[in-house]
Structure 1
């Protein structure tokens, strides 16, 4: 699409970009469909570069015109403003026999109209007193935002936001229904004509908290309400023209956040106690192993200790992190360190590696896979590296339609006559029960194609489909 952007200076292009950024706020403020027009390179054409529908009122989808070229004949009011450089108020027939008000503002730089902003408002269904103040304020917002000022306060409004507008003396000249409803709860009747900082309006405020990075916004506690107060001072030449105050009632949101914090603290404490209880069980098993005179019993109890500590490691992590998920790579590292400390001889160099995607697991998956990894590492330590002084175990992770895990070692591989389904190994039985029964996945063992090492392939159901596993580089 060709337009005359090339005829605009860098400063004018910057003004145009700034107006595009605040267009949603403007649409919300004026309760109408907003559009930015510039002159097109093609004769008899205008170019719509941006549009925005309001969040503060319902408008028919038909009112929203897509960005693109339009004929000047179809936009007589916009064309008039390009020629006159003056604000125009007129009507547009939206549907047959149904007219909407059209407010058209020129954007002028160096006596040249660089763009025109139109706002179509269905005033028939608005029922807003003193609507003219919204239009005057919209004009001031456009002029103010076109300059090099902070645009952060001009975030979109919602239908439930309270809106106050003052004159240059901070006297309230406009208050929407939501603002009146909020102040009615605070025991204030009429707002119009009140000074914005009158004691009558502020006497119920019991707490204020400011945000350093957003000095124009603060949170208030007043009359049992939690309010976000956003203030925008519109100025020209250092003189205040008017103030816009937006009040957002976040009482329910803060109550939910508090409820979540309490539940999170309770869950953390539960994980902490479960971890302590499991470590107590592990200590009892160690004590029993030391009292036993049978090496076979000692070995079995030692493996049981590792199984219990595998689950304890998951709960320890969850209690420390304060969140209900644990990364698979972290589980691998924790279980590896635990097995190496308790099951590997001091002169044996056992290494581990992790490759692939970062995957976060909820407690059920984390506990089950911790046990699985514990059994796989122990199995590799006991059978894969006979007669060697070093070895490697690793885990490769892929997340596609399903979660694929490849646990491998560089050991001697499976015996030629080994049949996994006929094996009476307790470790393999635990692995198969957890993967196929608990996690509803698939499991198989096979030698590496090179003839060295073993692979344990684990396939689990698609994570997001069941809502049990979420993959991301950072939550």
Structure 2
């Protein structure tokens, strides 16, 4: 018997490849001190592996070879990979014991050695810190069956049988099951698997899954004993037939959806459906990354616009010319009207937002230029618009509000502005109405930049129509556009 369990070596490798604490590393060292006894008790080769942080590989940190060992050289410090030793990674994945799974090791001369592995988790308190691996030689190369001896003649028959086991009829000759299917008997032994299941487990490093126990193939949170208890308790409480559980799990860099069905029959059978959803998960991750970037862009634009507005505000305070101050204030409100949309979209999960929500945000952010109290009331139909249209509409509405605030209430001690929205299928209407003194539409204004912006944006950006009516009871400006 030859044991290699150097304390300093274990500490060094744990510090190099993991985030384990000193106390957790000591737990590994404690087990390594007794690793030789596992040779004597089990007549197995024994190893301790640690998982590399954020990578799908492990490192050998301790080993003990039995007399007449199948190995000629040390594996200390070597990397272990899922495709060679799936049992090791299955135990790392689920924190449970794995047994009777075939693994393969390579000697320094690239000689391939097949073994049967039993893998036991090593814990510090409730945290899994390493695994203990017990290996025996597996003398013949593993057979690669496409199914067990109970395989049915063709995929349609297999499908019908599986569906009947879980309680569904099947009359459609073209129906297929795209998930991997495994069926276990009342003892937890595998009695059937389809080609999809074989391919999935092959990708996970299993050389053969024939006749393995459920607990050595399971990646869900429920061991076989848990399923039996679950079936008994739920059947007694609810009087139901089949019991099922769905889980999504991460295995290495792959993602799977697992459905467990405990059948109504006695003795109990367990049917496991396993579906590789890695591509779906990858797509969702890409969408989430896009949304994070999208939100960050809107957030930064909003911050930059507010910074510009703040600089203009400082400039306005130092300006003594009343007309210049008014122009600066108009510019500030234009900038803030655009910032409103970006502020709201930075908190949304898409490129769209509610018109009423954005209008109310504009109302809260607008800076009034005159001292009289002015009520701004928003009402009407709510509808959703994309960011491009919202930015244009906010600029238009801001110009109309500023025009009313600036001109409509001269000589008055109070003012009221109403913003009304109407939706007629794909035609939208927005109306800005004040109760001011009105003005002569035919009389040209020297400071009509705001109205020029409104007209240009409605006609060119929205491809809409602008209508202005005014009189002694106030001015109403409305515009319609199609989405």
Question: When the two structures are superposed, what TM-score results if normalisation uses the length of structure 1?
Answer: 0.58
CA contact (8 A) 1:441 1:458 kept: yes
Q: Which has the larger radius of gyration?
A: 2
Q: Could you tell me how far 1:323 is from its partner in structure 2?
A: 3.7
Match of 1:290 in 2: 317
2:397 maps to 1:352? no
2:195 maps to 1:174? no
Match of 2:466 in 1: 443
Q: Could you tell me how far 1:161 is from its partner in structure 2?
A: 1.8
2:201 maps to 1:183? yes
One of 378, 381, 392 as aligned partner of 2:417: 392
Write the distance in 1 (CA, Å) between the matches of 2:396 and 2:176: 50
Q: Could you tell me how far 1:422 is from its partner in structure 2?
A: 8.4
Match of 2:399 in 1: 375
Match of 2:357 in 1: 330
Question: When the two structures are superposed, what TM-score results if normalisation uses the length of structure 2?
Answer: 0.57
Match of 1:315 in 2: 342
- In structure 2, the CA distance between the partners of 1:218 and 1:381, relative to structure 1 (3 Å rule), is same
- In structure 2, the CA distance between the partners of 1:335 and 1:208, relative to structure 1 (3 Å rule), is same
Cα deviation digits, residues 396-439 of structure 1 (max 9, x gap): 22141322223323334x43x41499886111111122222222
Write the distance in 2 (CA, Å) between the matches of 1:158 and 1:308: 58
Q: Could you tell me how far 1:460 is from its partner in structure 2?
A: 1.9
Q: Could you tell me how far 1:269 is from its partner in structure 2?
A: 1.9
Match of 1:218 in 2: 247
Q: Could you tell me how far 1:246 is from its partner in structure 2?
A: 1.3
Match of 2:431 in 1: 406
Write the distance in 2 (CA, Å) between the matches of 1:422 and 1:440: 25
Write the distance in 1 (CA, Å) between the matches of 2:407 and 2:247: 64
Write the distance in 2 (CA, Å) between the matches of 1:158 and 1:295: 78
One of 267, 280, 287 as aligned partner of 2:294: 267
Cα deviation digits, residues 8-42 of structure 1 (max 9, x gap): xxxxxxxxxxxxxxxxxxxxxxxxxxxxxxxxxxx
2:360 maps to 1:342? no
2:472 maps to 1:431? no
CA contact (8 A) 2:417 2:434 kept: yes
- In structure 2, the CA distance between the partners of 1:317 and 1:186, relative to structure 1 (3 Å rule), is same
Match of 2:478 in 1: 457
- In structure 2, the CA distance between the partners of 1:419 and 1:242, relative to structure 1 (3 Å rule), is farther
CA contact (8 A) 2:186 2:269 kept: yes
Match of 2:122 in 1: none
Equivalent runs, 1:148-167 vs 2, <5 Å: 159-167=177-185
Q: Could you tell me how far 1:261 is from its partner in structure 2?
A: 1.9
Cα deviation digits, residues 38-83 of structure 1 (max 9, x gap): xxxxxxxxxxxxxxxxxxxxxxxxxxxxxxxxxxxxxxxxxxxxxx
Matched position secondary structure for 1:385: coil
CA contact (8 A) 2:244 2:262 kept: no
State the aligned residue count: 306
Write the distance in 1 (CA, Å) between the matches of 2:451 and 2:267: 77
Write the distance in 1 (CA, Å) between the matches of 2:207 and 2:444: 79
Q: Could you tell me how far 1:332 is from its partner in structure 2?
A: 0.9
Q: Could you tell me how far 1:459 is from its partner in structure 2?
A: 1.9
Write the distance in 1 (CA, Å) between the matches of 2:419 and 2:360: 10
Write the distance in 1 (CA, Å) between the matches of 2:176 and 2:301: 45
- In structure 2, the CA distance between the partners of 1:350 and 1:161, relative to structure 1 (3 Å rule), is same
Write the distance in 2 (CA, Å) between the matches of 1:420 and 1:329: 33
Q: Which one is further off, 172-181 or 221-230?
A: 172-181
Cα deviation digits, residues 120-169 of structure 1 (max 9, x gap): xxxxxxx954865654444443399xxxxxxxxxxxx9753222223333
Q: Could you tell me how far 1:307 is from its partner in structure 2?
A: 0.5
Write the distance in 2 (CA, Å) between the matches of 1:436 and 1:246: 58
How large is the RMSD of aligned CA atoms in angstroms?
A: 3.1
- In structure 2, the CA distance between the partners of 1:133 and 1:334, relative to structure 1 (3 Å rule), is closer
CA contact (8 A) 2:166 2:261 kept: no
Write the distance in 1 (CA, Å) between the matches of 2:343 and 2:163: 56
Matched position secondary structure for 2:201: helix
Give the unaligned 5+ runs of structure 2: 1-151, 170-174, 223-242
Cα deviation digits, residues 266-323 of structure 1 (max 9, x gap): 2222222212211121122122222222211111111111111111222222223454
